[in-house]
Structure 1
Amino acid sequence: MSTDPFCEIIAGERPATMVHSDEVAVSFLDARPVFKGHVLVVPRIHVETLTDLADVGPFFERVQAMARAVEKGLQVAGSFVAMNNRVSQSVPHLHVHIVPRNRKDGLRGFFWPRTRYDSTEEAASYADLIAKAL
């Protein structure tokens, strides 16, 4: 198994603010979110890109459920769901970004300004709102 940061999070060797975890995928808050509540969904098995994932159905069921939970849990108007394959992929482990969105929130195109949580408690409160909406 690779020692990329996401594999380390999955193995419990690196801290992350967890939202949900099961036998298929692990979901946690992005440490540098576009907007607070920005979740990453990663397959539990190490694959680098979408084309490397053998069984996409179960994984994308988790992505779909998490997108719904982000919108419902954070009471936002919608979400931006995205992934990169190799180019602009900061971690070589398949991951899907689910970014909470509201109209006129300032996000334009693919320019993703990043923010930070004020504390681990604030991050945990966002993760809890989303997890409760699953």
Structure 2
Amino acid sequence: MNKKTCSFCGFDDKAVTVYEDEVCFAIVSENPINKHHVLVIPKKHYESFIELPDKLAVHIFLVAKKLSKAVREACNPDAITHLFDDDVSKSGYNMVPHYKFHIIPRFKKDMHMIDWGQLRTDQNYDDCCKYAKGIKDKLR
């Protein structure tokens, strides 16, 4: 990817940039879930979390932790949701196919709910055990 195909590669809008170092930057989202929604973005192009080098993944989480404190102080939310969407641009969910860590302030009256109860499948405990075994086998 390059500047012409990815809007985060070579991003340089200091007005919305709240943090920058040699490997990542953070901006206030132009398409926020709530006010003060911040994105932490690696400067090098990666589309998914599993592509990130370990050192960069740790760095992004530490930057997100620092920024979460600043967001909390800036807008006094009731909570903060931290998430990243992994390579979902192919499914049409992700507007920019570049990994980003979201810091989303949450307020009691906001309507942006992740309703885990509504997302259930017919998965039962035996299925959980089977899936756990499959994942553990891949870790070896």
Q: Does 1:92 align with 2:97?
A: yes
Distance 1:91 1:42 in 2: 11
Structure 2: runs of 5+ lacking an equivalent: 116-140
| Higher Rg | 2
Alignment of 1:109-124 (within 5 A): 109=114
What amino acid sits opposite 1:89 in the alignment?
N
What amino acid sits opposite 1:30 in the alignment?
S
1:90 is displaced (CA, Å) by: 2.0
Runs of 4+ in 1 over 2 A off after TM superposition: none
Are the counterparts in 2 of residues 16 and 29 from structure 1 also a CA contact under 8 Å?
Answer: no
> SS where residue 91 of structure 1 aligns?
coil
Q: Does 1:68 align with 2:75?
A: no
Are the counterparts in 2 of residues 27 and 42 from structure 1 also a CA contact under 8 Å?
Answer: yes
Matched residue, 1:21: 20
Matched residue, 2:2: 2
Alignment of 1:44-55 (within 5 A): 44-54=43-53, 55=55
What amino acid sits opposite 2:61 in the alignment?
F
Structure 1: runs of 5+ lacking an equivalent: 111-134
Are the counterparts in 1 of residues 87 and 99 from structure 2 also a CA contact under 8 Å?
Answer: no
Are the counterparts in 1 of residues 10 and 43 from structure 2 also a CA contact under 8 Å?
Answer: no
Question: Which protein, 1 or 2, shows the higher relative CO under an 8 Å CA cutoff with sep ≥ 6?
Answer: 1
Distance 1:16 1:33 in 2: 16
Distance 1:7 1:15 in 2: 14
> SS where residue 85 of structure 2 aligns?
coil
> SS where residue 8 of structure 1 aligns?
coil
What amino acid sits opposite 1:21 in the alignment?
E
Are the counterparts in 2 of residues 37 and 100 from structure 1 also a CA contact under 8 Å?
Answer: yes
- Structure 1 residues 16 and 48: CA distance shift in structure 2, 3 A: farther
Distance 1:23 1:15 in 2: 15
Aligned residues: 107
Are the counterparts in 2 of residues 49 and 85 from structure 1 also a CA contact under 8 Å?
Answer: yes
Q: TM-score, normalised by structure 2?
A: 0.68
